[in-house]
A and B are shown apart, each in its own frame.
Chain A
Amino acid sequence: MAIDDFGGKVLGKPIELLTADHQNKADVAATKAREWVDTEGVTMLFGGTNSGTALAMAKVAAEKKRVFFDSGAGSSALTNEQCTPYTVHYAYDTVALAKGTGSAVVKNGGKSWFFLTADYAFGHSLEADTAKVVKDNGGTGVGSVRHPLNATDFSSFLLQAQNSKAQVLGLANAGGDFQNAMKSAKEFGILKTMKVAGLLVFITDVHSLGLRNTEGLLLTTSWDWNLNDKTREFGKRFFDKTKRMPTDIQAADYSATMNYLKAVQAAGTMDADKVVEKLKSTPIDDFYAKGVIRPDGRFAHDMYLVQVKAPNESMKPWDYYKVVSKLSADEVWTTKAESKCALWK
């Protein structure tokens, strides 16, 4: 969509999109990225949903000097301990999710937490960042259990959560894992005694689970199609093409691609160093977000704490969120003082 909207050409050259499935395997992602740079001359990589694959792609992009935009992976390490000059982390990260949802749930009375965590880089990072926010806000973490990625049976993990007597079940997972954990928690009656905090929830999760199973859930998102006229216009165009409303990742992918192409045009070259310099010196203000790409590669923009509507509050299909508060870019991301990124000192 972004390539078509840009006119299909930049610097007089046709733009071509190559796609591949990384199957949630870091080695597959890294191999494909390296192959495309070496044999196809790819100048920009994006995608990487799954922090393990994103970190692997970021490493290849840095080695090969190619711009890498990540919208779907959560690990804050992408712009912290493992930052590179070529990574731009676009949509959200585990620090922002923790500061948004974690602090809101504690302030609403959820003081003691038990974490059910996806056992890989993203889950670990989300649990650690949220546990810190819970503690900083006067709450406590009473335990955690890790489940394999793409788990099918959550019964033993949820039994441990129930036995912990914690007030809050923090789900440090996403996508199909979040959906399956929610379904199992409901089947086992856990929702009667514990409040669930979904630490990374997408509109597609709410759509799959239904409002009856998700109403009242607090979550943090970088974007929703129903925020204003511009977001609704993009949502409608996306729906017309795909028959689904976009997630915040899909909106971020469009915005990132469009802003990359603008930077190439403005720099007059595909050279990654010059394009990154242009990206980091040009504020972004579009239908997706308003902000700047910081020296550590973080696109710092406002985030939203939202609550899932009750069925009788939803006025039309995909009308699922009401905004509770806007989380300012100044407060929601890793600060310069907290950063371990050598590029931001």
Chain B
Amino acid sequence: MKSRFTNLAVALGAVGLMAGAMHAQAQDKLKIGFITDMSSLYADVEGKNGGARDPDGH
């Protein structure tokens, strides 16, 4: 039983560290999220080109 608690504590600690790392990472960049129809009836009017990337994805 003690071992299970220890494992749980280690796991929770790891999750906490990961969350902290992600948060820190997020602060290092400004991230913009673009969510639209990229595969169906509105794909032409906004679609991938709403982000206006080069044909090679840049």
Contact = CB atoms under 8 A, between A and B. Distances in A.
Contacts of B32: 3, 15-18, 42-46, 257, 260
B6 interface: no
Contact of A13 (B28, B52, B55): B28
Sorting the interface of chain B by its residue count into under 10, 10 to 19, 20 to 34 or 35 or more gives 20 to 34
Given A47-B34, A47-B46, A253-B46, A41 B25 contact: yes
A16 B30 contact: yes
A335 interface: no
B19 to A, nearest CB: 9
B45 A177 contact: no
Interface string A23-67: 110000100110011011111111111100100010000000000
A24 to B, nearest CB: 5
B46 A174 contact: no
B20 to A, nearest CB: 12
B40 A176 contact: yes
Interface stretch (A78-86, A236-244, A302-310, A321-329): A236-244
Contacts of A72: 36, 42, 45-46, 50
A13 B30 contact: yes
A170 B44 CA distance: 22
A238 B52 contact: yes
Contacts of B40: 23-24, 150, 176
20 contacts: A3-B32, A18-B32, A19-B33, A23-B39, A41-B23, A42-B33, A43-B30, A43-B31, A45-B33, A47-B33, A47-B35, A47-B36, A49-B36, A49-B46, A176-B44, A205-B45, A242-B49, A247-B46, A249-B45, A250-B45
Pairs A-B, 10 closest by C-beta atoms: A41-B26, A176-B41, A47-B36, A21-B38, A1-B52, A42-B33, A204-B44, A175-B42, A175-B41, A49-B46
